[in-house]
Amino acid sequence: MQYQSQAVAKPYFIAAIALFTGQILFGLIMGMQYVVGDFLFPEIPFNVARMVHTNLLIVWLLFGFMGAAYYMVPEESETELFSPRLAIALFWIFLVAGAATVLGYLFVPYATLAQMTGNDLLATMGREFLEQPLPTKLGIVVVALAFLFNITMTVLKGRKTAISTVLLLGLWGLAIFFLFSFYNPHNLVKDKYYWWWVVHLWVEGVWELILGSLLAFVLIKVTGVDREVIEKWLYVIITLTLVTGIIGTGHHYYWIGAPEYWQWWGSVFSALEPIPFFAMTVFAFNMVNRRRREHPNKAAVLWALGTGVMAFLGAGVWGFLHTLAPVNYYTHGSQITAAHGHMAFYGAYVMVVLTLISYAMPIIRGRAANSNKAQVLEMWSFWLMTIAMVFITLFLTAAGILQVWLQRVSDTPMGFMATQDQVVLFYWMREWAGLMFLVGLVTYIVSFFVKGEDSAATQ
Amino acid sequence: MTSQALILPDTPPQRLAGDLAIWFFIGAELVAFAAFFGAYAFTRASHVAEFNLAQQGLNRDAGAVNTLLLLTASAFVVRAVQGALAGRARADAVWLLAAIVCGIGFLGVKGVEYAAAFDQGISLSSSTFHMFYLSLTFFHFMHVILGLVILVVLWAGMRAGRYGPQDMNGLESGAAYWHMVDLVWLILFPLVYVIH
Give residue limits of the domains in chain B: 20-50+67-194
Q: What is the pLDDT of residue B15?
A: 80
Q: What is the pLDDT of residues A255-274, one digit of tens each?
A: 999 999 999 999 999 999 99
Say which DSSP state B164 is in: B
Q: What is the pLDDT of residues B126-152, one digit of tens each?
A: 999 999 999 999 999 999 999 999 999
* Three-state DSSP state, B167: strand
The HSE-up count of residue A358 (CA atoms within 13 Å, CB side) is 34
What is the band of B19 on the pLDDT scale with cuts at 50, 70, 90? confident
State how far the alpha carbon of A368 is from the alpha carbons of A85, A227, A306, A364, A446, in Å: 26, 20, 21, 9, 19
The helix-helix angle for A46-77 and A207-223 (nearest 10°) equals 50
Rg (chain A; Cα; Å): 22
Q: Round to whole Å and give the CA distance between A217 and A5.
A: 18
- Give bridge partners of residue A455 from the DSSP assignment: A369
Q: Among 1.20.120.80, 2.60.40.1120, 1.10.357.10, 3.40.50.410, what is the CATH number of B20-50+67-194?
A: 1.20.120.80
Confirm or reject contact between B131 and chain A (CB < 8 A).
yes
State how far residue A257 is from chain B, nearest Cα, in angstroms: 13
Q: CB–CB of A272 and B31 under 8 A? A: yes
- Which is nearest to B128 in space by CA: B30, B21, B55? B55
Chain A residues whose CB is inside 8 A of the B135 CB are: 261, 264-265
Q: CB–CB of B39 and A279 under 8 A? A: no
Chain B residues whose CB is inside 8 A of the A273 CB are: none
Q: CB–CB of A269 and B132 under 8 A? A: no
Among the partner residues A243, A261, A268, nearest to B124 by beta-carbon distance: A261
DSSP letters, B176-193, are HHHHHHHHHHHHHIIIII
Chain A residues whose CB is inside 8 A of the B25 CB are: 236, 239-240
- Which is nearest to A319 in space by CA: A300, A298, A301, A336? A336
Q: CB–CB of A232 and B35 under 8 A? A: no
Among the partner residues A239, A259, A279, nearest to B124 by beta-carbon distance: A259
In chain A, which residues have pLDDT < 50? 457-459
Are the beta carbons of A371 and A453 closer than 8 angstroms? yes
Q: If you measure CA to CA, which chain A residue comes closest to B29?
A: A240
Among the partner residues A232, A243, A272, nearest to B21 by beta-carbon distance: A232
Q: Round to whole Å and give the CA distance between A133 and A115.
A: 9
What is the percent of chain B with per-residue pLDDT over 90, rounded to a whole number? Answer: 85
Confirm or reject contact between B50 and chain A (CB < 8 A).
no
Q: If you measure CA to CA, which chain A residue comes closest to B25?
A: A236
| Helices and strands per DSSP (H, E), number in chain A | 19, 0
Chain B residues whose CB is inside 8 A of the A243 CB are: 32
Q: What is the pLDDT of residue A457?
A: 46
Q: CB–CB of A275 and B31 under 8 A? A: yes
Among the partner residues B25, B31, B39, nearest to A264 by beta-carbon distance: B39
Chain B residues whose CB is inside 8 A of the A244 CB are: 32
Q: Round to whole Å and give the CA distance between A403 and A336.
A: 9
The answer, yes or no, to whether residue B2 has pLDDT greater than 60, is no
Neighbours of B160 (CB within 10 A): 11
Tell me which of A234, A243, A268 to substitute to probe the interface with B (most B C-beta atoms closer than 10 Å): A268
Confirm or reject contact between B146 and chain A (CB < 8 A).
no
Q: Round to whole Å and give the CA distance between A100 and B22.
A: 49
Q: CB–CB of B28 and A235 under 8 A? A: no
Q: Round to whole Å and give the CA distance between B151 and B168.
A: 14
The helix-helix angle for B128-159 and B169-188 (nearest 10°) equals 160
State how far the alpha carbon of A396 is from the alpha carbons of A73, A212, A271, A390, A450, in Å: 39, 28, 22, 10, 35
Chain B residues whose CB is inside 8 A of the A279 CB are: 24, 28
Neighbours of B82 (CB within 10 A): 12
- Which is nearest to A39 in space by CA: A427, A457, A321? A427
ipTM: 0.80
Q: CB–CB of B131 and A243 under 8 A? A: no
Q: Round to whole Å and give the CA distance between A253 and A333.
A: 13
Q: What is the pLDDT of residue A340?
A: 98
Provide the Cα torsion B18, A234, A249, A410; round to 10°: 90
Neighbours of A229 (CB within 10 A): 17
Q: CB–CB of A272 and B124 under 8 A? A: no
Chain B residues whose CB is inside 8 A of the A261 CB are: 124-125, 131, 135
Q: Cα A272 to the chain's mean position, in Å?
A: 21
Among the partner residues B19, B21, B131, nearest to A261 by beta-carbon distance: B131
Name, in order, each residue with C-beta under 8 angstroms of A399's C-beta and a sequence gap of 6 or more. A335, A339, A423, A426, A427, A430
Chain B residues whose CB is inside 8 A of the A235 CB are: 21
